[in-house]
Structure 1
Amino acid sequence: MHTFFDQPDLLPGFADANRPRAIAAGIDPFQYDAVTVELTSIRDWPTAFARAGREHLARAEQADEQGLSASASEAYRDAALWFHFATVLPNPDLGAHAAAAKASADAQRRADPAAEHITDPDFAGILRRPTGIRAPVVVLIPGMNSGKVEFMPIADSLLRRGVAVLAIDGPGQGELATRSHWEPEYQKVVHRVLDVIEDRSDVDGQRVAAMALSMGGYLGALAAAHEPRIRALVSVSGPSALHWDQLAPYVTDTFALRTGSATAGRDFARGINAAEIAPRIAQPMRVLDGGLDVIPGVANAEPLARHAPNAEYLLIPEGNHLLETTRWKWLPDTADWLADHLRK
């Protein structure tokens, strides 16, 4: 069995494929190019990205000491992103992975003093609220190897529209990646998230929606099928089905790492069936795909929209996975769509 790291000449294509993802998350494109061009092996990726994270962390701490709060916040946010992207490989060195994930979470906690960091047995989250109002909430759900830190620009867009955002890491995701394994019944995670939101007085726990991305697009749909408290759902580049034997080693190795074994990973993949759960999603749902998002073994999200009773499907022909290269074509309108449904 070939693993991800056994593939020849892997580095250039991997760096190119992840460039839009990193830039969309907020990493400076010039620094990304400067770091990746110096790599001679894909195995050097985690070390190089963690080194860049430490450089930003040092700048942040220096700015903190000088009382330069804006510069410190920006540098902490950069550090959190670089540490996060050090974890996107299916790295068998779990110690290094855990250290980078912890460093990312710690830096993110220091990046935005106004944000609240929620620690729960079932998830970790960052709650950001508009000032002066008791706002409705959108829950951001990450995917296969993403995490709450990666979608802060999306959170910014929602905040500008008067919506609070709770970005989460569920079991096996983000800062919890090496402390737990994925939960195939992800609706249980979201159920707990909604309970926490409902118990708060500073947000409107009766008006909650979700935006779910990549594999999270399926996890969010699964949650909506079980949770009527979710008023509306946006699913971006979520799979409707996975065919294990056709998946690339990057995906199968990541599944094995995040579930605990290749057998568990295969079982998790086989359990993804959007056409089966879609008829139970009564809420308004917007499903988005990119026409250039072609991943071996992954069926796109069109069946999710087709089988759901109250869904719309938007295909952006020139869009990549997560539509990062065409964000201006869908995010403003989709953020408005969510805000509008939360006002009803």
Structure 2
Amino acid sequence: MTVLDRRRLLIGGAVAGAGALAAACTSNSPAESKNTADQRTQSPASPGKHVTIGFTAPAANHGWTAAISENAKTQAGRYSDVTLKATEGTNDVNQQIQQVQTMIDAKVGALVILPFDGKALTEIAKKAMAAGIPVVNLDREFADPLAYRTLIKGDNHGMGVSAGNFIAKQMAAKNVSKPVIVEVAGLDNLQLTQDRSAGFKAALAAHGLSVTARQAADFTAETGQKVTSALLQANKKIDALWNHDDDQGIGVLAAIRQASRDKEFLMVGGAGSRNAMTAIKADNTPLKATVLYSPSMAASAISLARLLGQGRGLTDMVEHEVPAQVTTYSAVVTKDNVDDYMVVGFA
């Protein structure tokens, strides 16, 4: 069974209904109580009440954001009781606000929103919630918890921790006591970049290590190559490098090859692209691992929105309702386990 299959089992297939709990508690009608109990015990893999789910996300101008939309559409297609109304991806905040307003006007059963700007989309998401439409906030958080029913996100701080712990372990195995560790970050004005760097720094510090040099790029291969070239010129010896983003990592690897330093140190990537996993499996580049920030969370968001729209919950949990927050785990993918994770690698 693949990792994605296991995830679907937990979120989409081993999920069962718990909704309409309030009705069961407040109604004196035996018929209503029986219907509620039946709904709670119904397997979510079987068809339930039809739900129209609205979906909006940023433009697919990056491998990860493109995979977000792809995962959402694929997951929705697995359910006979779901109709997905997916909007065209946009990085225009006003356009995305209008997209959400249109879906509110259409009275969709649930909304999945990955906001281009969480703060800017907060009020329109609160409006959806006030209209009785449960909102699943995907990854980039709104400024107010009242703007969503459930938040599902990646763990940016955890990414840094996982990368730092892996590098520290590798340095100890190589008996390198004072390694030169460099970091190629993403956009520094983004909270996610700051969180990743903070986690990386904290994990290294726990092992008595630190970052020797750090520069930020902007999540593109071009800037990744430019920044890495500068770091290589400034540091004549490097033991390990962490790059925050695998798309950016294409340029990082190009710079390393261009400098003929591809045998000198190990590299760890971030996010989990299929390209990175293929390189890790081949084991013929400095890239020895990548830390997951998987866009498969979008598929889980659709499953959660379906359950919210149907008034169901998660059978494997004692609580009857869908949880208020889900944070994915930042697993480290190496050549030893890459085959297990290849299915969630994005193009």
TM-score between the two structures when normalised by the length of structure 2: 0.32
Greater RCO (CA < 8 Å, at least 6 residues apart): 2
TM-score between both structures, scaled by the size of structure 1: 0.32
The structure where helix makes up a greater share of residues is 1
